[in-house]
Chains A and B, each alone.
Chain A
Amino acid sequence: MTVHEPAEPVRATMLRTGTRALGWLNRNRGQLTFAGDTTAELAEPDSVYKPLGELALAASLVLRDDPFHEADRRAARDLLDFAWDQLRGGDLLYERQLRFPAMTDPLETYVHFHRAGHRHEPLQALLAHLTGLASYREYEHVPNRRMAVANATRVIGIDDRADWPARTAATWLGATPEPWTMDWMTAYHVTHTVFHLTDWGAEPRGLPPHVRDYLATWLPVWTDVWLEIEEWDLVAELLLVDACLPEPAHDPAAWRRLAAAQHEDGLLPRDGRTGTEDPAVRFYNHYHTAVAAVTAATAALSRSGA
Chain B
Amino acid sequence: MSNAALRADYAQAVEQLAGRVLGVLRDTQAPLPAVSDADRPADTAALAAVRVLGPDLFAPALFRREPLPQPDREALGSALQAFPPHPDDSAEARWRDRTTAALLAHGTNGGTAVPYPADGPGAFGGAGGADAGEEAEDAALSWQERSRRMARLAPLALPEVDGPFQQRACRHVRALSRGAARSLMRRDYPTAARLVRWLALARSRGAAPALDLPTVLDHLRLWGGGGARTALDLTIAGRLLAGTEGAPR
Contact = CB atoms under 8 A, between A and B. Distances in A.
Nearest to B181: A180
Contacts of B211: 178-180
Nearest to A179: B181
Given A2-B142, A217-B178, A182 B212 contact: no
Contacts of B141: 1
A221 B178 contact: yes
Contact of A180 (B144, B145, B174, B180): B180
Interface in B153-180: 174, 177-178, 180
A220 interface: yes
B145 A224 contact: no
A176 to B, nearest CB: 11
A126 interface: no
A2 B141 CA distance: 8
Contacts of B216: 178, 180
Interface string A174-197: 000011101000000000000000
A225 interface: yes
Interface string B125-147: 00000000000010011111100
A224 B188 CA distance: 14
A220 B143 CA distance: 9
Contacts of A2: 140, 142, 145
Interface in A253-269: none
Contacts of B178: 217-218, 220-221
B90 interface: no
Contacts of B210: 217
A225 B186 contact: yes
Contacts of B137: 1
A1 B143 CA distance: 11
A228 B182 CA distance: 11
Interface in A190-241: 217-218, 220-222, 224-225, 228
Nearest to B179: A221
A218 B142 contact: no
Interface residues of B, number: 22
Given A217-B177, A225-B185, A1 B140 contact: yes
B178 to A, nearest CB: 5
B184 interface: yes
B185 A182 contact: yes
Interface string A1-31: 1100000000000000000000000000000
B185 A178 contact: no
Contacts of B174: 217
Nearest to A220: B178
Contacts of B142: 2
B197 to A, nearest CB: 16
Nearest to B142: A2
Given A2-B145, A220-B143, A225-B185, A178 B177 contact: no
B215 interface: yes
A251 to B, nearest CB: 10
A222 B140 CA distance: 22
A180 B219 CA distance: 10
A273 to B, nearest CB: 18
Nearest to B210: A217
A223 to B, nearest CB: 10
Contacts of A180: 180-181, 184-185, 211, 216, 219
B223 to A, nearest CB: 11
Contacts of B140: 1-2
Nearest to A216: B174
B237 to A, nearest CB: 15
A225 B144 CA distance: 11
A222 B181 CA distance: 9
Find the residue from A2, A220, A221, A225 having the highest chain B CB count within 10 A: A221
Interface in B175-218: 177-178, 180-182, 184-186, 210-212, 215-216
A225 B212 contact: no
B135 to A, nearest CB: 14
A178 B145 contact: no
Contact of A178 (B144, B186, B215): B215
B181 A221 contact: yes
- Considering the complex of A and B, which 6 residue pairs feature the smallest CB-CB distances, nearest first? A180-B184, A180-B181, A221-B178, A221-B181, A221-B182, A179-B181
5 contacts: A2-B145, A179-B181, A180-B184, A225-B182, A225-B186
Interface of B: 137, 140-145, 174, 177-178, 180-182, 184-186, 210-212, 215-216, 219
Given A180-B181, A221-B182, 6 more contacts: A1-B145, A180-B216, A217-B174, A217-B210, A221-B185, A225-B185
